[in-house]
Structure 1
């Protein structure tokens, strides 16, 4: 690297220290950070608060993680390690596996709702070992489906963009729900009088609200997510038909 060229700021571009303190390793720091984020949310995360939980000063943490941005890269990659790598060799099954992978990403995001809030600020997270492993598997999946490598990358990004877009608002809603101390059904019941009043002069909204009134809110969320997912996959399947490479028919929704 030329002397006047600054390194790209990322944990994945910085050589990791070979010798680490047994009592305070990068792995322990990341594990505790994930727990803190799951319980208290992204606003509670700081090097000082994390150091307090670990019984160490922030200076000790900086020996293993140079900045808070690096820490966020690490925790994002950590939770991506919960995902299974898509595995498909039969082109006829690409859509089923893609749908399952999308649902897995959604489930992971809802287990760790802070993820949705930080994905836009994770720098070179794509260089992390877990995210790289999952991305490699998804690229292979779309290549098996019939896309060349460049378009497989575009198909993967389209699918992930849909999942993250949907789960960002969903995760925010569930975080608010958790702070309220109410179940989802209790929350819906408490809002019913205000909601009915708000939609009474809007016949389409009123009809839709009445239709969902006695349904489990979680079932509605699941159905809405899967509806959009199937339409994204319809589009990708149509593209494969155009390319002459679609090996399977659409799955029922």
Structure 2
């Protein structure tokens, strides 16, 4: 299999706008509005040009194709995390703030989940966030590659929790499936597991958003506790 060549909008200098022409930041802002209002499937260079009342030439002056536009949009998302200064805040507070803000950002911009991991994150805002997390885990006491493994572990946890949440919301709506219908089905299909069904009735909130928030809190604490315990283990 031939190895794919690396390509990115960030490896070439941005073009200056033509006289009275569109700026790149205007194009990206309009793309974000379209993505937020109509989703990934609705974004096209033609539709974006119509929104900006501009021809294709004005758009292609700044971005060669839709992929480059999406790279720029993704970098804007990385800039929305708003985490505290790692030098002024405890590492757990920074990590917790990042996790909650990352979750909230993805829920506000669900289209971004289809870009993370498929588009390169090598823009200035992605690097700034990565460096904040790097300094956070160095301040916690991690060294070497563990600094980056700790950061990726936290990031992967948030992605693993939120992507299924977004997928379920797309499939079943904000409120999800009627919990009474779910319980009736479980009573019938899981009749051989009465204790588990009783636990489900007594412990799982009927409101899906509450249940998801509780699950996120529990898992995040476990991840942070695990990272902290790692710091106290002697290196072999």
Superposition pairs of residues 228-239 of structure 1, within 5 angstroms: 228-239=219-230
Point out where structure 2 has 5 or more consecutive residues left out of the alignment: none
Which shifted more, 155-164 or 80-89?
Answer: 80-89
1:90 touches 1:144 (CA, 8 Å); kept in 2?
no
Report how far residue 187 of structure 1 moved: 4.6
**Number of aligned residue pairs:** 232
Match of 1:120, SS state, is: coil
1:60, distance to aligned residue in structure 2 (A) = 2.7
Gap regions ≥5 residues in structure 1: 1-5, 245-253
- CA distance change for structure 1 residues 118 and 176 in 2, over 3 Å: closer, same or farther? same
Q: 2:137 corresponds to which residue? A: 142
Given the superposition, is the C-alpha separation of residues 193 and 44 from structure 1 closer, same or farther in structure 2, using an over 3 Å criterion? farther
> How many Å separate the matches in 2 of 1:21 and 1:102?
43
TM (norm. structure 1) is: 0.80
Map of 1:159 onto structure 2? 154
TM alignment of 1:26-37, pairs within 5 A: 26-37=24-35
TM-score (norm 2): 0.86
C-alpha spacing 1:200/1:72, structure 2 compared with 1 (3 Å): farther
Structure 1 position 72, deviation (Å):
1.3
Would you say 1:102 and 2:99 are equivalent positions?
yes
Report what 1:68 is aligned to.
Answer: 66
In the alignment, the residues of structure 1 paired with residue 24 and residue 58 of structure 2 have an alpha-carbon distance, to the nearest angstrom, of: 11
Whole-angstrom distance in 1 between the partners of 2:36 and 2:104:
14
The answer to whether the 8 Å contact 1:77/1:129 transfers is yes
The answer to whether the 8 A contact 2:186-2:197 is kept is no
Aligned equivalent of 2:45 = 47
The answer on whether the counterparts of 1:159 and 1:232 sit within 8 Å (CA) in structure 2 is yes
Measured after TM superposition, the shift of residue 176 of structure 1 is 3.3
Greater relative contact order structure (CA < 8 Å, 6+ sep): 1
**Conserved in 2, the CA contact under 8 Å of 1:109 and 1:116?**
yes
2:168–2:176 CA contact under 8 A, matched in 1: no
Contact 1:113 1:175 in 2 (8 A): no
Report the Cα distance in structure 2 between the residues aligned to 1:241 and 1:104, rounded to whole angstroms. Answer: 28
Inter-partner Cα distance in structure 2 for 1:191 and 1:59: 53
